[in-house]
Amino acid sequence: MVLKARLRLILMADAVVVAETEDPQIWQAAFEAIQGGIEASAFDARQARPEVDSIDWVPEEERVAIHAFADELDVQVKDVMAACHPRTIAPYIFLNKLHWEAFKRQIPERGRNSISNAVLAATLLLLWAEKINLERVSLRDAMAVLRAIAARDEHASRAVDNCPWLNRGYNRMTLNPDEISKAIAIGRAFCLKQAPVWDDAG
């Protein structure tokens, strides 16, 4: 009796599954890369695939939410996944440290155009929470996002309270619909490693 092995390639960041595939071409190319014999053309088949295939491993309902998130931010799905890897498991947003560094480098540390760590985490989390119908998002949830990348914000409460696009009540945060364009601008900028482009000078 001959048993045929089921080959599956899983890409993980710590304990978080980032991508998964059973495509034999991708598996073979990865195997060759590990063995040191890969050429640049080995991944051509994967690169030619439609963008939707890049998250085929995600459950359908979650995949729909990710596409809606990307559409709202006006970025590609791959950019959203690379920057903040949105999921339906806590802490819901898994920030990419390279995107974090690039974004923080382009904004002032203080002043009206500064964006604190807590505000950035809360903004991304709330934008995503709307897509997965997360009933309640608190400041504690935003701090959990920060802790996942070993980031801190000692003035988190004050920063969120002073942010025009964030509303905070008792154990709950929401987006201010009158300032939603600024929240979206921040989400887009983070995904693209850019500084936010505001619609107005205010």
Q: Six-digit token pair at 104?
A: 């923080």
- End-to-end Cα separation, the chain, in angstroms: 72
For residue range 90-103, what is the model confidence (pLDDT) as tens digits?
999 999 999 999 99
Judge if 93 and 180 occupy the same domain: yes
Question: Does some domain include residue 198?
Answer: no
Higher pLDDT, 52 or 129: 129
The beta-strand segments (E) located in the chain are 9-13, 16-21, 166-169, 172-175
For residue range 12-32, what is the model confidence (pLDDT) as tens digits?
766 666 667 766 666 666 665
What's the rounded mean pLDDT across residues 164-181? 95
Judge if 118 and 38 occupy the same domain: no
Residue found by looking up tokens 């400041």 in the block: 139
Judge if 135 and 182 occupy the same domain: yes
Judge if 83 and 38 occupy the same domain: no
Judge if 92 and 162 occupy the same domain: yes
> What pTM does this model have?
0.74
Mean pLDDT lowest among 67-76, 103-112, 141-150: 103-112
For the chain, the average pLDDT equals 84
Query: How would DSSP label each residue in 22-59?
Result: --HHHHHHHHHHHHT---GGGGHHHHTS-GGGGGTTS-
Q: Which domain holds residue 26?
A: 9-49
